[in-house]
A and B are shown apart, each in its own frame.
Chain A
Amino acid sequence: MSVQPATQSAAVAAPESKRRRRWSPMQRREAIEGILYLSPWIIGFTVFVAGPLIASGYLSLTKYNVLRPPQFIGLNNYIFAFTKDSLFIPSIIRTFYFALLSVPLAMIGSLLIAILLNQKLVATTVWRTFYFLPTLTPLVAAALLWRWMLNPDVGLVNYLLAQIGIQGPGWLASTTWAIPALVLVTLWASVGGSRMIIFLAGLQDVPKEMLEAAEIDGAGTWDKFWNVTLPMITPTIFFNLVLGIIFALRTFEVAFISTAGGPARATWFISLHIYQNAFVSFDMGYASALAWLFFLILFLLTYLQFKFSGRWVFYAGAR
């Protein structure tokens, strides 16, 4: 504690002295060389990220159909989205419903696989490969493959369900079951992938001494998991959760291929709505406004997660 004032004043003084100091020729040379190495990304960032970001912000305030120059209309696109576009708000709700179903299942599924693969098994690599392969399959191919598996009349899934006496639903052809079906496809295509491997790495970083100490204190398998392992891997859970929510809310290919947003718009997600407005109707101004609304939702959600992470995420290294 007594050291703190000294460090503080040093921290305040440091930038000032740095600013006053003139650059030596060597430092300048290093900076110039560094900028040269960074230049591909400086150009790429400006042209493909920052520029388009600003441009789409401007376009969102215009009416623009590509043929005629953009016409400034203020916030009308945003007002239209909330008042007149009967597809926008339902598409957001639908997207969140999909995320609400898929994210918890995906997180639990990946963690469960990671726990299983963390046991002492014969031929770990083989099992890991089995779980990993679906995640390498192009989403378009995965969607087609599952469309066939989920065929209500002759599909394998309903055939197997019939064997145990369950009449299978219409899956992708049913307005109620289409979203659960897409959740199923997404789970298959992601549950054993990088999310699982990151969990596995997190599990392997749990200090063995802590588990042993808990055991000496008489903790059972479940106690050890709940009171030691789980708190220790909260940073990993947080990392996967943030990325998982973004990934789920951005779902496009699976819905586009499996159902094209149907039946009766039951899988018309926000990403499809943006695609439709931008590249089918060529209503670029309105589509930009939709994209920005979507971006703001994602940003807000990520921000809130970081804000409240302090309540449940435990960093062993934090002071």
Chain B
Amino acid sequence: MAQHVLQPARPSRTASIRLNTLTTRTLVYLLVIIGAVLSMGPFFWTVVSSGKNINELYRYPPTFWPDNPQFIKNYVEVWTVVPFGRWFLNTTYVTVMSLIGTVLSATIVAYGFARFRVPGREAFFFVTLATMMLPVEVTLIPTYLLFKEFRWIDTYHPLIVPAWFGGGAFNIFLLRQFIMSIPLDLDEAAKIDGASSWRVLWQIIVPLCKPAIATVATLSFIANWNNFLGPLIFLNTESKYVLAVGLRYLQSTFAGGSAVVSRPQDHLLMGAALMVALPCLILFFVAQKYFVQGIVTTGLKG
């Protein structure tokens, strides 16, 4: 399954003659470029807007590059007007702690599903897959009440602890599929040499699973960094916010009602939105190879 690398399809000789006719190729590139402009345009516009001053921002017709760029001033202001740095640290903490929990527990559980004959295993695995279809709304209310009972509201535990218990059906599924593709002979050879199943997991399975683990880590990072509903419900204190909820807070502050600012400040909001998105975009460039492959393998086997 891991060999399924995305390559542009190689057209057959007859097809390539047709494809290479100038008009077709021009049309294809034209469409690809239009699509890319539509995808990247909003980013460009956000960057431009984030460097304008408030008067230029609301000028019509809009300018396509700030007349008096004040990027640094605006970005510094975002960090001072709200505890943006604090939110950044909070988000990093929640994301990293959940990521560690997800990777560790999903690997262990997936190993259990892939390698041990336990009565009822197939049924339980099927139920696990079914949970992927379950809307969060159904379990959210009792979960909230449970965490309230634990006195975990307004702490990070509700956002971190569940990740340490399996790390979610999708991640278990992805890792289990990957472990099943590793030949059993390797396990058995190690066992004959006297290795315990725990040692087999860490010294044989995990090193071979690196691409799948990297995928799970990347997906988990992005999911947690972008998580909005959880932090919205479980966190109340401003200084404990994570970035996604902070952005929303910033939006309502800048809408004009608060004492801090008297009129909408969309240029700061745009700068803040970009900074929130940036870590995920950077991560994508670092992990691109694994990331795309991981989606493909699970998508196909699903």
* Residues on A facing B (Cβ under 8 Å): 27, 30-31, 33-38, 40-41, 43-45, 47-49, 51-53, 55-56, 59, 66, 113, 116-121, 124-125, 127-134, 136-141, 144-146, 148-149, 153-154, 156, 159, 188, 192, 194, 197-198, 200-205, 208, 211-212, 215, 221, 236, 239, 246, 250, 252-253, 257, 271, 274-275, 278-279, 284, 287-288, 290-292, 294-295, 298-299, 302
Contact = CB atoms under 8 A, between A and B. Distances in A.
Interface in B223-239: 225-226, 228-229, 233
14 contacts: A34-B112, A34-B117, A40-B108, A41-B166, A44-B166, A137-B277, A138-B228, A139-B226, A145-B42, A198-B296, A200-B6, A221-B18, A250-B137, A284-B145
A33 B108 CA distance: 11
B140 A291 contact: yes
B203 interface: no
A239 B14 CA distance: 32
Given A144-B251, A284-B141, A149 B45 contact: yes
B12 interface: yes
SS of B interface (majority): helix
Contacts of B280: 136-138
Contacts of B121: 34, 38
Q: Which of B10, B42, B60 has the most CB of A within 10 A?
A: B42
B222 A128 contact: no
Interface in B59-118: 59-62, 105, 108-109, 111-113, 115-118
A139 B172 contact: no
B133 A302 contact: yes
A246 B247 CA distance: 26
Contact of A55 (B4, B45, B142): B142
Contact of B133 (A55, A141, A298): A298
A243 B16 CA distance: 35
A254 B187 CA distance: 47
A165 B127 CA distance: 55
Contact of B281 (A47, A136, A192, A279): A136
Nearest to B16: A120
Interface in B286-302: 288, 292, 295-296, 299-300, 302
B139 A116 contact: no
Q: Which of B248, B273, B302 has the most CB of A within 10 A?
A: B273
A48 B165 contact: yes
Given A118-B9, A133-B43, A291 B137 contact: yes
A124 B225 CA distance: 28
A45 B132 CA distance: 12
A158 B108 CA distance: 53
B8 A287 contact: no
